[in-house]
Structure 1
């Protein structure tokens, strides 16, 4: 049998109501009583029944996280951070995988599984503004990721243009001038790839550089093979960049493989910067310089926003927030000449 509130109350010499007030962190409990109850909780190993607590409030205690690709290390790391943040807020996370397909993102955003979740954190790739405009009433939703939207939802995303400019500035400050961009896309200008390309153009222009369009390569996806193929395409055009800014770390890793196969050294011949700071990039033969979003902050902000909406009185939701979590440039061997 598990330890009950009654057991804790008897151990602490207080009423069950007092124990309940301490467990739920209600005020009007004296510090001495609170300490005595907490000691009894610790001694007996009492654990609150979170399911019962949520059900009393008409909730399930479950939030959903929908990401484009669980196999992508960045999304896997973000998912882990969201789960950790949700645990701190006494919620369980249900993971969903949209494969970055618009129809699946629409299905998830418009209430799929709404009967089992209290709220949704969605990281969309193809979802459009009109899809959000037609969203029916249902569990609250928080948007995650760098695609831009004009919609009344909390949106947690780093500033892609500023982050891209930081990455390119680092390369230009090293004296590199022919900086290729790998990972452009042909779709909506609101996608992260376009925002990062915009940052690349802006920073190059600020140094008085007008790079040829042949240094920009569009990719079908953002995997290692896409980066390898994109790097090969630049070299096969007869271009010889002295630096690469890749859409993400996996594209950068693929690009470095092609450079190695073509007999070019990183960073001596070509410096490389990625984006996302995935674990793989830290442990290659040449560790990867990258833009590192604060994944823990992204996750905590997303969960905080969602929990606040779940707890809000009916008809009184908080004002939508647009939050830019911090990021930093992690300088490693792919841009830092090694000595010796």
Structure 2
């Protein structure tokens, strides 16, 4: 027979309400009481009926995560971190793959899954402010990534300009003077590539180094092949960098391949820095120095933001008004520069 809250309460010698408070992670339970109830839960093997719990709250217990490309290792790792963070709140995650296409991002943001999900975490690339402003769906939304929208939505991102400057500073500290940026884009000031290009330019300008366009190498996309093509094109143009700061790790991996083919030694002839800290950066023949966004922090902040929004919605539906309207947050998540063989060599 299924173990009930009443069974747990009898085993722990407490009220059913106390057991419910522990199971639902309410804050106002003493550590001693929480330990006592948890011991009874473990002994009896109690498992909450999550479906019934969510239905009582008028929810499905499902949130969605929409990212540009699930095949990209960064987004795959981020998705795993979101799933783990959501599980701590008894939430299931539905994954959407937008391919970075505006039409699909609009479709997702406008709520075509509104009857299925309680909230949405969206990492947009092409979505415009006007698209979000026209959003009629009342499903809570949290935005990820570097595109900024002057609209009332929580937004979680790292400081790309600061991260890029730290990467370039590392190369300057190693004595590099001809530092190229591989993966430049100039079509939107809010996209990550443009922000990272801005950080590259600011740090080099502060050091009095060359920031001319000949060192800002564009790529058609941001995969390994794009990095290889962009690196080859840069070398063929006659530019001879002694360091490369790549838009992301995939671009950097492509660049590493071309440098090897051209007989250029990494890091002695050309040092390379990537961005994202994907698994490939840790296990290549030359491990990659990279900027590592804290993916778990990003995931946790995004899920917690949705949980708060859902709680406010439940209070509002119950007629409970918060004393102060909460301020929507633009939260900067942490990052670190991981120094490896592609800049330091083997030690």
The reply to whether TM is greater than 0.5 is: yes
Q: 1:324 aligns with which of 332, 340, 345?
A: 332
In the alignment of these two chains, the number of paired residues is 339
Tell me, yes or no, if the aligned pair for 2:114 and 2:137 is still in contact at 8 Å.
Answer: no
> How has the CA–CA distance of structure 1 residues 204 and 92 changed in structure 2, closer, same or farther, with 3 Å as cutoff?
same
1:132 matched to which residue of 2? 132
CA shift at 1:14, angstroms? 4.5
Tell me, yes or no, if the aligned pair for 1:308 and 1:318 is still in contact at 8 Å.
Answer: no
TM-score (norm 1): 0.95
CA shift at 1:211, angstroms? 2.7
Q: How do residues 279-290 of structure 1 correspond to structure 2 at under 5 angstroms?
A: 279-290=279-290
State the secondary structure of the residue aligned to 1:335. Answer: helix
Tell me, yes or no, if the aligned pair for 1:110 and 1:135 is still in contact at 8 Å.
Answer: yes
Gap regions ≥5 residues in structure 2? none
CA shift at 1:2, angstroms? 2.5
CA shift at 1:26, angstroms? 4.8
Q: How do residues 95-134 of structure 1 correspond to structure 2 at under 5 angstroms?
A: 95-134=95-134
Gap regions ≥5 residues in structure 1? none
CA shift at 1:154, angstroms? 0.5
CA RMSD of aligned residues (A): 1.8
CA shift at 1:31, angstroms? 7.0
Is 1:89 the counterpart of 2:114? The answer is no
> How has the CA–CA distance of structure 1 residues 98 and 29 changed in structure 2, closer, same or farther, with 3 Å as cutoff?
closer
> How has the CA–CA distance of structure 1 residues 44 and 266 changed in structure 2, closer, same or farther, with 3 Å as cutoff?
same
Q: What is the CA–CA distance in structure 1 between the aligned matches of 2:14 and 2:152, rounded to whole Å? A: 47
Q: What is the CA–CA distance in structure 1 between the aligned matches of 2:288 and 2:91, rounded to whole Å? A: 35
Q: How do residues 185-334 of structure 1 correspond to structure 2 at under 5 angstroms?
A: 185-312=185-312, 313-314=315-316, 318-334=326-342
2:24 matched to which residue of 1? 24
Q: What is the CA–CA distance in structure 1 between the aligned matches of 2:27 and 2:303, rounded to whole Å? A: 24
Q: What is the CA–CA distance in structure 2 between the aligned matches of 1:300 and 1:36, rounded to whole Å? A: 28
Deviation track 1:176-233 (CA, whole Å, cap 9, x = no partner) reads: 1111111112421111100000111111100111333112122221100000000001
Deviation track 1:62-85 (CA, whole Å, cap 9, x = no partner) reads: 110000000000000011111111
CA shift at 1:146, angstroms? 1.7
> How has the CA–CA distance of structure 1 residues 42 and 338 changed in structure 2, closer, same or farther, with 3 Å as cutoff?
closer
> How has the CA–CA distance of structure 1 residues 298 and 35 changed in structure 2, closer, same or farther, with 3 Å as cutoff?
closer
CA shift at 1:149, angstroms? 2.1
Q: What is the CA–CA distance in structure 2 between the aligned matches of 1:244 and 1:28, rounded to whole Å? A: 53
Q: What is the CA–CA distance in structure 2 between the aligned matches of 1:173 and 1:33, rounded to whole Å? A: 55
TM-score (norm 2): 0.93
Q: 1:337 aligns with which of 327, 330, 345?
A: 345
Q: What is the CA–CA distance in structure 1 between the aligned matches of 2:199 and 2:124, rounded to whole Å? A: 21
> How has the CA–CA distance of structure 1 residues 35 and 273 changed in structure 2, closer, same or farther, with 3 Å as cutoff?
closer
